[in-house]
Amino acid sequence: MKKISWFSLYLLLYAVAVAFCSSCSDDESPLRNDLLRKDVGPVLVGNTLEFAYAIGSTDGTPIKAVEVTASFPGAEGTGIAMNSRYTNPDNGEEEEVRIATETSTEGTVSKAYIVDTIAATIRYFYVVPEAARGSKIKFHFRSITGTGEATVQSPEYTVSNVEIFKNLSLSSGERNCFSLETMQSYSVTQVEEMGIAGKIDFIYTYKPTMGSGWSFAHGLVSPSNEKGYLYPVEIPSGATNRTLMEKRYWPDGQLKTSGVPTIYVDEIDLRQAALDGVTAHAYELGQDQGVLIKSHDGKYIAYLYINETSSNLKRMSFAIKRLTLK
């Protein structure tokens, strides 16, 4: 049996108990457990929640198995990891150690059979499924030894109705038209050939300055083109939507591709955003800036976060959070 000192076991359980959820194990049970959610940010469909589940036997009885039950069956990738991580006291580096002999996930239940040890931290990953959108989810963790068991339940999490779309781009003179409905970019020719002019919400353009000399740079303009900012860009025939837009400096760790901040735009931010009567364009845009956008029919509100711009290529790369309002 893999041994661990009582002092090490105490430190393990104390560390997780400080920041974790309250344990639900019986005070008389020789098994102790605690739980920590390690990822941060709003719970979105497609995102992975990561939990660290710490277990320790106080009577020296080996841990036999761990079981996790979710409110909804997780998407592909849900389950208990075979390995755990620990910090090597000799070099201070994080290393992996095999903690399970077998794991499985069927429906809402994930199981793991544990190696011969009296203390372990189990890693459980849950990929949020589409079926859980707008619902509340929680997780029940259970550990078993030959002499008892312990359980702990996670807090309840609300799955956001917000959808996230990454790795999007627009290029001046190429795919410069964008639809919030399809979340796709199109060229002017494609828009006209496909007959989707009514679906185009904004058009990307780049020019160093306006004719009068003031700076313009990277810009997004609704097809209604009220100020003439799209000149000399061609507007698809029949594209007339007046899309409301406003520059916003909202950092978002789920949209940003590097140097991730622990700040996020959530559903409540989009629902409460006031965009009535604001402009139908946004220009002088650059990396790490954002644009709040509302479709002409009020069906969608979205936050576009710019990850990269290129003046030479006349190109913008971005990610979007979209909320369907009706």
pLDDT of residue 8: 40
Under 8 Å between Cβ of 214 and 239: no
Do residues 153 and 175 both lie within one domain?
Answer: no
Whether 113 and 199 share a structural domain: no
224 and 114 within one domain: no
For residues 60 and 141, state if they share a domain: yes
Residue 260, pLDDT score? 65
**What's the predicted TM-score (pTM) here?**
0.83
Task: Give the residue from 114, 139, 158 where a domain finishes.
Answer: 158
Select from 137, 158, 179 the last residue of a domain.
158
Q: Mean pLDDT over residues 272-300, rounded?
A: 91
pLDDT bracket for residue 156 (50, 70, 90): very high
Range of lowest pLDDT (130-134, 173-177, 277-281): 277-281
- Listed residues 143, 158, 173: the one ending a domain: 158
Question: Sorting pLDDT into bands at 50, 70 and 90, what band is 9?
Answer: very low
Task: Give the angle subtended at the CA of 295 by the CAs of 252 and 248, to the nearest 5°.
Answer: 30
Asked whether residue 121 falls in the same domain as residue 168, the answer is no
In a domain, 75, yes or no: yes
Q: Is the pLDDT of residue 14 over 50?
A: no
195 and 279 both lie in a single domain? yes
The answer as to whether 265 is a domain residue is: yes
Plot region of 217 (φ>0 → left; ψ -120 to 50 → alpha; else → beta): left
Asked whether the beta carbons of 202 and 243 are under 8 A apart, the reply is yes
In which element (H, E) is residue 169 found? strand 163-171
Residue 53 belongs to domain spanning = 6-158
Is residue 113 located within the same domain as residue 220? Answer: no
**pLDDT exceeds cutoff 70 at 2:** no
Assess whether 168 and 316 both reside in one domain.
yes
Q: What is the CATH number of the domain that holds 123?
A: 2.60.40.3550
The CA-to-CA distance between both ends of the chain, in Å, stands at: 59
Task: Please give the structure tokens belonging to residue 284.
Answer: 């002088």
1 within domain boundaries:
no
**Same domain for 35 and 79?**
yes
Among 9-13, 32-36, 127-131, 307-311, name the one with the lowest average pLDDT.
9-13
Does 90 share its domain with 207? no
The answer to whether position 206 is within a domain reads: yes
Q: Which helix or strand (DSSP H or E) is residue 190 part of?
A: helix 188-194
Same domain, 279 and 223: yes
Predicted pLDDT of residue 26: 53
Give the Cα separation of 85 and 171 in Å (integer).
Answer: 44
